[in-house]
Amino acid sequence: MKKILHLIAGLALCGAASAAPAADAECIVPSKPGGAMDLTCKLALKALQGQPGGGTMRLSYLPGGIGAVAWHSLVSQRSGEANTLVAFSGGSLLNLAQGKFGKATAGDVRWVAALGADYGMIAVRSDSQYKTLADLLDALKRHPQKVLIGVSGTIGSQDWLKMALLAKLAGIDPKVLRFVALEGGGEAFTAMDANFVQVVPGDASEATLYSAAGKVRVLAVLSEKRLPGVLANAPTAREQGIDLVWPIIRGVWMGPKVPEADYQRWVHAFEQMEATPEFAQMRAAYGLYPFSMTGAALTGYVKKAVDDYHRQATQFKLVR
């Protein structure tokens, strides 16, 4: 860990690259504060800063268009910034697959590192009348108009698709569900806390924060088996008769014109960092699970994931 910031500080030192010093490193959260994208940048910040060498990283927020504002800002206006990272998730890849970033493709940016894996989950308020997933599904079958579902993004977003797939597997027409489009997971949980919505089909990392505070009840995690830690008592959807698993990778990317030398230094810095036991501890504290991939391997993974999401979205006629 002590070598990590020295690696990052070296970003400014090689060749003719015009990289800013590591003290000016920035991680952009493409949503409002409080959601899983926020957690991704905070994990990168905590893991990379505070070591001998003096380097720091700052967080900034650029919400809008379920990630499109940050994407187009970096690609069109800040494409060569060698110390600027942007958080992404499986939801970002789903948006790409559905054309929600316009004509953007996975090949338009430089994929740096995946920091871990997350899973989908279904949450309600801790005082909700819905005690189990079966309770919620029964209510959606009988009176779907009375249950407001808060999702990050609009129709076709990752949260929307998780709930639509869950409903479909339970024999419910997703078209009868009432969704409320919000900007980011933090806003969705805030809306549920205020009882503006009654259900959030969000991410386990987000639920970890709110469950620890006693504010929410997780009805189901969308993982192969129960998750350790705060959500250890939350049953999987499979345990409750719904065969739905929804993994989510989380990581960071950079602009397309970042010099190769600078890009590779960041890739190497993350590779070194993710190999340490200290990072494993921090990743777990942020509600994420092991999934480390960088550089060319991550780029290939992302491109395949976008193709897979495109096929999934086609089931609901979200793309042509």
pLDDT tens figures, 105-159: 999 999 999 999 999 999 999 999 999 999 999 999 999 999 999 998 788 888 9
Give me the helix-helix angle, 185-193 and 36-48, nearest 10°.
120
Q: What's the average model confidence in pLDDT over 274-289?
A: 90
Kindly indicate the confidence band of residue 173, based on its pLDDT and cuts at 50, 70 and 90: very high
What's the confidence (pLDDT) of residue 15? 32
Mean pLDDT of the chain: 88
Q: What's the CA gap between 17 and 13, in Å, rounded?
A: 8
Tell me: pLDDT of 179 over 70: yes
Domain 119-240: assigned CATH number = 3.40.190.10
pLDDT higher for 229 or 140?
Answer: 140
Q: Report the relative pairing of strands 148-152 and 57-61 from DSSP bridges.
A: unpaired
Q: What's the CA gap between 315 and 320, in Å, rounded?
A: 10
Where are the extended beta strands (E) located within the chain?
A: 25-29, 57-61, 84-89, 110-125, 148-152, 178-182, 216-222, 247-254, 293-294
Kindly indicate the confidence band of residue 306, based on its pLDDT and cuts at 50, 70 and 90: very high
* This prediction's pTM: 0.76
Tell me: pLDDT of 5 over 80: no
Intrachain domains 4-118+248-315 and 119-240 with the same fold: yes
Q: What's the average model confidence in pLDDT over 98-104?
A: 91
Task: Using alpha carbons, select from 167, 132, 153 the residue that is nearest to residue 32.
Answer: 153
Kindly indicate the confidence band of residue 55, based on its pLDDT and cuts at 50, 70 and 90: low
CATH architecture assignment, domain 4-118+248-315: 3-Layer(aba) Sandwich (3.40)
Domain boundaries, the chain: 4-118+248-315, 119-240
Summarize pLDDT for 142-155 with one digit per residue, the tens.
999 999 999 987 88
What's the confidence (pLDDT) of residue 23? 54
